[in-house]
Structure 1
Amino acid sequence: MLTLHLTNGDSAASALARSGLPGDIVSWRDVLHDGPVPPDNDLRVFHRVRAEFLAGRGWSNLLAAITDFEQRDARLDDVGAGDEVVLWFEPDLYDQLQLIQILARFERRAPSERPRLTIVPADCYLGLLLPEKFAPLYAARREITPEDLVHGRVTWRAFTSSTPDELLAVTNRLDREVTARTYTSDDLVRLPHLVAALRRQLEEYPDVDAGLSRSERQLCEALSPGAITLGKLFAAHQVMESWVWLGDVSFAWYAERLSDCAHPIVVHTNGSRVIAPLRATDGRAFWERTVQLTSFGQDVVRARADAVQANGIDRWIGGTHCMKAQYWRWDARTQRTELVPGT
């Protein structure tokens, strides 16, 4: 019998490797909250779309990204009946999107061809754990049920849909059906963190008040008191999350989007625009530079101006492409998305 541990990235995988638990470890490396995420029925197309986005941002080499995806998926193909796949995923959005992708992948298989699927009850960040903390989590792992696989398939399909309507509907339905919000609050729950993560994803649509996503609003509100370095801004942004999910590379890109536009919202204190460093370069100087809100940015934070109306929008959220011709906004008061047709 083969035991395959799937986890969210290199940090958790490294910590897991030091635990001494038996089995192979595979890191599921992809920032699914950024860039286009089409349905993955055709894996070759899916790999290409994701790799082209990552390479276009300078976050990976095109061929390296495709190779990593292919090797990762080949390991899933290698496990079958009689094997066990152990899922090690944290409560945050980054991890939960990876989790539903994996669940959807296994749901497509005939029940007789599926490995045993279990999930560890992680109400914590795995990469920060000491090696000896992994064995108790492993011993407490819970069986993934056919119902959980269906939840994964339905949620993944909704996330990769061309509109947010299905994702909102699935989130609301799961909110009613899965009432536990942590593993410690229910000995049987397997997916307690999914609803909060999906709702956090919906909050990335521009809001109805000023056209800012929640991430963008948090960034701007942290700058409202005055100029600070990008490093301190990133730290302040993370504190505003219940579960931290946004990495520094993505954050730098978000800051660039707010700066490199027709009407900048954030700029360096000398007035120059923020340009995110390429991953292959030394970005230390980037994080030490000081930034501030522009006067227009102050107006946006106070809902006296609208970021999307002024600067347009071109952003993928899962399978949904938001463009000025057609996009959606998030209303935090009603917890609904609103379609904004082109003008």
Structure 2
Amino acid sequence: MGASILHITNGDSTTSYLKKLQFTGDFITWREMLCEGKTNTDVGSESFWKTRFDFFKNNYKVSKQNFINLTLKEYRNLCNFKQNKEIVLWFEYDLFCQINMLAVISWLKINRKGYPISLVCSGKIKNTTKLKGLGELSETEIKEHYKNRINLSQDDIEYADYIWQLYCSDSPLRLETVYKFNPTSPFKYLASAIEAHLLRFPTIKNGLNKIENTVLETAHNHQLKSKNQLVGKLLKEQEVYGFGDLQYFKSIDTLQKLFASFNPVKLSKKGLRILENETNFYGEIRNENSYLGGAKKYRFLYNKQSEKLLQITT
């Protein structure tokens, strides 16, 4: 752990934890959630950040000043770190982290060509079935992860960049096959993350995606007294998405018409019918400005029987 190392972490909590454990070097915190909203392939470009700011402003009411202070300033710091001899990436197993990781590697491929890049990725831990985030690791576990970090080859970097390019394309169809066929990839959680991503497109049966159906199922199957309790339950039981509370609150707001009450939490008759696949909500929930990566969310439908996406042609 020398000062010649640049650590790029998945969030402020990881950065704080590593500093607390006296990891030395420079630190950059990647403050983005590229698993949501439209993305461009050219990470760090003016058009890339404009697209991202528009998404945050329109969906989460993020002010320009906050976006500059929290995200752009940290990105500019990253641009200024050129003297480090090694770059270590700290990311987790979930969709949220894996997509951010792809984007960072894509940026490094162009802007730090030839630099040694290694990856610390948390997930499976010995003697437990639960996947763990970096902040859940003990001091011993996190130091062991660091010791066993994976050195990324040029092929690994090219592969991550290729998946990022596909994620940002206007069609997710090529992702359906490509992500499955790289058994030697060091990105051992990427396949399950991409699989979870594909399940975010609406289903043929009721027009809702995996996450939205989970929101309804959770609301219906548990006696919850408030929207906060519902979000808390969703956060606790999510496995591969890695979402924060804001993302679940936004999803619930999109499904507002399907709830009769939030005090206590109760689905409306329509919500129950949609949950039972007796009717379809696609026409009402469809939003032409909703993107997953580079693809319009409602231009594709997921067929559970074939486990394939279908493109809607107009």
TM-score tier (shorter): 0.7 to 0.9
The answer to whether residue 153 in structure 2 is matched with residue 151 in structure 1 is no
Asked if residue 265 in structure 1 is aligned to residue 258 in structure 2, the reply is yes
Q: Which residue of the partner structure matches residue 117 of structure 2? A: 117
**Distance in structure 2 (CA, Å) of the matches to 1:96 and 1:248:** 19
Q: Which secondary structure state, in structure 2, belongs to the residue aligned with residue 245 of structure 1? A: coil
Match of residue 312 from structure 2: 340
Contact 1:33 1:97 in 2 (8 A): yes
Q: Deviations over 1:115-140 (max 9, x none)?
A: 21011242220122344543222111
Offset of residue 109 of structure 1: 4.6
Q: Give the deviation of 1:243 after TM superposition.
A: 3.0
1:267 CA displacement: 4.2
1:149–1:117 distance in 2 versus 1, CA, 3 Å:
same
Partners of 1:79 and 1:115 within 8 A in 2:
no
Identify the residue that residue 298 of structure 1 maps to in structure 2: 272
Change (3 A) 1:4 1:81: closer
1:56 to 55, 58, 80: 58
Aligned partner of 2:137 in structure 1 is 129
1:138 and 2:146 correspond: yes
CA distance in 1, matches of 2:313, 2:240: 33
Whichever residue aligns with residue 28 of structure 2, its letter is: V
Distance 1:266 1:150 in 2: 46
Q: 1:119 is aligned with what amino acid? A: L
The residue type paired with residue 120 of structure 1 is V
Query: Which residue of structure 2 aligns with residue 12 of structure 1?
Result: 14
> Is residue 2–residue 79 contact of structure 1 (8 Å, CA) maintained in 2?
no
Q: Look up the equivalent residue of 1:72 and give its one-letter code.
A: E
Q: 1:192 aligns with which of 188, 192, 197?
A: 188
* Secondary structure at 2:40 match in 1: coil
CA offset at residue 25 of structure 1? 1.6
Indicate the residue corresponding to 2:32 in structure 1: 30
C-alpha separation in 1, matches of 2:42 and 2:88: 22
Structure 1: gaps of 5 or more residues: 180-188, 270-288
Cα distance in 2 for residues equivalent to 1:238 and 1:58? 19
In structure 1, what residue type is equivalent to 2:188?
A: P
Is 1:205–2:201 an aligned residue pair? yes
Equivalent position to 1:178, from 161, 178, 183: 183
Give 1:118's aligned amino acid: S
1:162 counterpart (170, 180, 200): 170
Change (3 A) 1:10 1:18: same
Q: What is the CA–CA distance in structure 2 between the aligned matches of 1:61 and 1:332, rounded to whole Å?
A: 39
How many residues get paired?
302
Are the counterparts in 1 of residues 202 and 297 from structure 2 also a CA contact under 8 Å?
A: no
**Contact 1:7 1:27 (C-alpha < 8 Å) held by counterparts:** yes
Distance in 2 (alpha carbons) for counterparts of 1:11 and 1:42: 23
What SS is found at the alignment partner of 2:89? strand
Residue 95 of structure 2 aligns to which amino acid in structure 1? L
Indicate the larger mover: 138-147 or 49-58. Answer: 49-58
1:230 aligns with 2:232: no
Residue range with higher mean Cα deviation, 38-47 or 156-165: 38-47
Q: Does 1:221 align with 2:217?
A: yes
Q: In structure 1, what residue type is equivalent to 2:122?
A: A
SS for the counterpart of 1:251 is helix
- Separation in 2 of the partners of 1:311 and 1:197? 24
Which residue in the other structure is 2:126 paired with? none
Q: Which runs of 4+ in 1 moved over 4 A?
A: 79-82
Cα distance in 2, alignment partners of residues 41 and 194 from structure 1 = 19
Per-residue CA deviations over 1:221-256 (Å, capped at 9, x if unaligned) read 112236522233223323543335111001000000
Is residue 254–residue 285 contact of structure 2 (8 Å, CA) maintained in 1?
Answer: no
Structure 2: 5+ residue stretches without partners? 124-131
